[in-house]
Amino acid sequence: MIRKTARQQAAPYVTKDGSEIRELLHPSQHAPRNQSLAEALIPAGCKTILHLHRRTEEIYHVTHGTGVMTLGDETFTIAPGDSIVIAPGTPHCLENNGESALIILCCCAPAYSHDDTVLLEAQG
């Protein structure tokens, strides 16, 4: 099983919430069994769809750009170096209010699955 990946070899795709994702490590293709690591990109001026994951705990780590995070009843700004934990069942979304792409590393345990994503608002 693959234990090392290169970002440029991970083809991007769009998740149910509307963010562009590159799966850097995922059990479907790589060595991890119980978690996944992805890079999410939200273009300037864009927002993901409010959603939750029934089983998955997520950790976000901002690497580039600025934005606004909605996490349950809270809304707060995020910037490079910030890390956020998202408990299972917690509604959340991201809005890029900056001038450049908002890029976040996303660690999911168990690994990300479209089936575990519940959209809480209509797709735009």
Domains of the chain: 14-107 (2.60.120.10)
What pLDDT sits at residue 7? 86
Q: Which residue is associated with the tokens 């959209």?
A: 119
**pLDDT at residue 117 above 60?**
yes
**pLDDT at residue 107 above 80?**
yes
Q: Return the top range by mean pLDDT from 86-90, 107-111, 116-120.
A: 86-90
This prediction's pTM: 0.88
Q: What is the pLDDT of residues 22-62, one digit of tens each?
A: 988 888 877 778 898 999 999 999 999 999 999 999 999 99
Averaged pLDDT, 13-17: 85
What pLDDT sits at residue 43? 95
Write down the mean pLDDT value for the chain: 92
How far apart CA 99 and CA 90 sit, in angstroms, is 28
Residues comprising the chain, all counted: 124
Q: Which of 31, 98, 29, 94 is nearest to 58 (CA)?
A: 94
